[in-house]
Amino acid sequence: MIAQPSAPTTLRTSGLARVGSQRGQSIVEFAMTLPFILFVALGVVETSQALMQQHITTKMAREGSNMISRETRMVDAGNVLRNMSANPGTFNSDTLVIFSVLLLSNSGSNNGQIVLYQRYSLGNSSLGSSRLNGSGTFNSANDYTAANPNNTTSLRVTNAPANVIGVPGGLIYVTEVFTRYSTLTPVRNIGLPIPQTLYSVAYF
């Protein structure tokens, strides 16, 4: 005759089974939520890094416009911005700076038009191009001044902010900065929309 287990033993076995089942359920739930937790954590890290890099890019643009508005030579201003970048050693490959001086022409064919008066760029030109739509030839021997700005119609800038220059013959100083952004984590590969190139512009 087979002896039956006592009631306490049966209850103990049942309790252990419930504990084991709860642990198994917790492991399954953790495994299901782990990818989401990692995605959020990596996203926070990457977004913080991108915002910091954007802050540096914006600061470079503002400082560039501030310097050239105070008659700092564009070449010298560019060297200052190189040292302000996140990694001066990779500035030439990871950053593009474009200095522009806009003039509200008061004579010639461009009378009343905003034109490019000066233009100088340094860094990696493949990162972008100026978002100001004028173009022309600039004399590097004379701090990159345009040839015949009052009459060369291709120098006209038609997409500058409205009323950016209010006085005929007045000048406005513009710095555009493009910076290649390299992610720290693989979030770009899993769908987080981190831009590959950051951009900032400042008008003084």
The backbone region for 128, taken as left when phi is positive above 0, alpha when psi lies in -120 to 50, beta otherwise, is left
Span 96-140, pLDDT tens digits: 999 999 999 999 999 999 999 999 999 999 999 999 999 999 998
pTM for this entry: 0.82
C-alpha 108/C-alpha 147 separation (Å) is: 13
Length of the chain, in residues? 204
Q: Cα 65 to chain center, whole Å? A: 17
Contact 203, 61 (CB under 8 A): no
Structure tokens at 152: 């060369």
Q: What is the domain partition of the chain in residue ranges?
A: 44-203
- Dist CA 203 CA 64 (whole Å): 10
**pLDDT, tens only, 74-103:** 999 999 999 998 888 899 999 999 999 999
